[in-house]
Structure 1
Amino acid sequence: METTTDDFTIALIGDGYVGKTCVLNCLQKSTYSKNSAPNVYNEMTLEKVVGNRRILFKIIDTAGQEEYDNIRKRVYEKADIFLLCFCVADKVSYENVTSKWMPDLYSYRNKPIILLGTKVDLRINSSSTSISRERGIRLQRRIGAKFYVECSSKSGEGIPNIIEAASNVLLTSRQKKSCVVQ
C-alpha cells in the first residue's frame, strides 16, 4: 500500500507565559522542563502516521508580546491551523482570546483554530480566577474553534490530544478541498 505524505504548519499563539514553549517541548521531546525560557520564534518538526498517510507537522511557537506582532503576522500567513492558547489559571489570558487574539486572526479567519487551555495542573476548582472546562468549551463555540483541548505540559495530560485534534481537522479539510462535485 502506498503512503501519502501531507505537510502542515501549525502556529502556536497566545499571551506570553501561557505555556506555549513548554507545549512545544513536550510535543517534541515528551518531557517537561520548567526552565523553558520564553522565546521570540521557535519551530520543530513532528511526524505522525494516520492510516496510510504520513503527516509532517512544522510547529511554530510565537512570542505573545506586542513588540513581536510583525514576526507573528509572517507566521500567520504560513500557518494551516492555529493553536490558540490560554492558561486555565489566568483569567486575563482567557479574556485576551476574544479581545486580542481573535481580532489579530481576523484576516486569517478561513484557517481553522484549536483552542488550547494550558496548565490544567494549576487549576484551582474554588478559585474565581481559574477557568473551568465548561467555560473553555463555551469559548471554543463562541470563537468558532474546531476543538477545545486542555493540557498540562508538567503532567503530560492532554498533550497527545493536541496533534490528534490537529490531524483530524487538517485531514478532514484537505479531503473536502479535494472533493469533486459534478
Structure 2
Amino acid sequence: MRHFKIVLMGAGGVGKTSMATQFVEQTFDETYEPTIEEIHKKTISLDGEQCLLELIDTAGMEQFTQMRDLYIKKSDGFILVYSIVDPTTFEDVKSIREQIVRNKLSEQVPIVLVGNKKDLATGERAVERTSGAGLAARWPHCRFIETSAREFNDIEEVFVYAVQEIKAFQDMRKKRVSVLHKEATKRRKSTGKCQVM
C-alpha cells in the first residue's frame, strides 16, 4: 500500500477542516473552531491500488509559520484552499505556494488549488472561476477545482486529484533519476575504455 502525506493549507475559515472531515467522516460542522493541527487518515482505492492518505489540516493563522515549514518539508503534496467569496484568501494561497517552493527548493510541487464555498457563488462570489483556473495553469503539477464542503460537492475529487498529481510527479522523478543513472553509467564505461587504451 502506498502512503501519501498531504497538507491542507489556506487562510483561516476557508473550509480546510470541513473538507477533510467531509472526506473522511462525511460530516459537516456548522460551527467554526480555528484549527491548530489535525491529522486525518483514510484509505482509498485508486487505479486498482490501495492508497493510505495522511491528511494534515493546518492552522490558517500566521503565528504557526514554523509548524507550516515542518509540514511542507515532510509532505508529498498540497491542497491549497481559498474561499470564492473572500478575495484576500485567494491572495493568501499565492504566498503560501511561495513558502512551499522556498521550503521544497523547487517549483515542481504537486498541488491541488481549491476554490471552496461554491454553494455561496450566487450573488456572493468575489473570485471568478477563471481566476482560480488561470492561477493553477501557471503552476507546474497543479490541478484546479471548485467545491462546496457544506454540500459535499466535489470533495472526493480534491483528494483523488491530489494523489494523482503526487503519483505522476513521483513517477516522473523516478524516470528522470533512471535516465541520469544510465547516462552516468555510460560515461563511466566510456571513460574506463579511454583509460585502458
1:144-164 deviation line (CA, Å, top 9, x unaligned): 452001111111111011122
Instruction: Choose 165-174 or 111-120, whichever is displaced more.
Output: 165-174
Contact kept? 2:108, 2:141, Cα under 8 Å: no
SS at match of 2:122: coil
Residue in structure 1 matched with residue 126 of structure 2 by the alignment: 130
Contact kept? 1:89, 1:124, Cα under 8 Å: no
Residue in structure 2 matched with residue 156 of structure 1 by the alignment: 152
SS at match of 2:145: strand
2:96 pairs with 1:101: yes
Contact kept? 1:123, 1:131, Cα under 8 Å: no
Distance 1:52 1:8 in 2: 16
Which consecutive segments of 4 or more residues in structure 1 shift more than 4 A? none
2:171 pairs with 1:175: yes
How large is the Cα RMSD of the aligned pairs? Answer: 1.7
Residue in structure 2 matched with residue 115 of structure 1 by the alignment: 113
2:70 pairs with 1:64: no
Q: Which has the higher helix share?
A: 2
SS at match of 1:96: helix
1:5-57 deviation line (CA, Å, top 9, x unaligned): 11110000011111111111111111211124221100111111123311111
2:33 pairs with 1:42: no
Distance 2:42 2:115 in 1: 21
Residue in structure 1 matched with residue 49 of structure 2 by the alignment: 53
> How many positions carry a matched residue from both structures?
175
- Structure 2 unaligned residues grouped into runs of 5+: 183-197
TM-score norm. by structure 2 comes to: 0.82
Distance 1:160 1:121 in 2: 16
1:143 Cα deviation (Å)?
Answer: 3.5
Distance 1:138 1:174 in 2: 24
Letter in 2 for 1:105: I
Distance 2:146 2:138 in 1: 17
1:89 Cα deviation (Å)?
Answer: 0.6
Structure 1 residues 24 and 14: CA distance shift in structure 2, 3 A: same
TM-score norm. by structure 1 comes to: 0.88
SS at match of 2:108: coil
1:79-125 deviation line (CA, Å, top 9, x unaligned): 10011110001011112222x21222232233211111111111235
